[in-house]
Amino acid sequence: MLLLGLVVAVVAAGGAVAWFQPQKLLIDRRVDEALPGQAAPSEGPATTPAPSGEPATVATGRFRSLGHTTSGQVAVLEVDGGRRYVRLDDLATSNGPDLFVYLSAAPADGPRDRFDDEFLSLGRLKANQGNQNYEIAAGTRLDRCRSVVIWCRRFTYAFGAAELDPAR
CATH 1.10.150 fits 28-166, yes or no: no
How far is Cα 112 from Cα 92, in angstroms, rounded to an integer? 19
The secondary element (H helix, E strand) that includes residue 5 is helix 2-20
If we measure between CA atoms, which residue out of 102, 63, 67 comes closest to residue 86? 102
pLDDT (tens place) for every residue of the chain, 168 residues total: 766 565 555 444 444 444 445 545 568 899 999 999 876 554 444 444 444 578 999 999 999 999 899 999 999 999 988 999 999 999 999 998 899 999 999 999 999 889 999 999 999 999 999 999 999 999 999 999 999 999 999 989 999 999 999 987
CA distances from 107 to 10, 26, 111, 126, 127 (A): 43, 30, 8, 23, 24
How far is Cα 131 from Cα 152, in angstroms, rounded to an integer? 19
CB-CB contact of 59 with 81 (8 Å)? no
Non-local CB neighbours of 143 within 8 Å, separated by 6+ positions: none
How far is Cα 72 from Cα 75, in angstroms, rounded to an integer? 10
Distance of CA 72 to the CA centre of its chain: 11
Q: Which residues pair with 82 in a beta bridge?
A: none
Domain ranges of the chain: 28-166
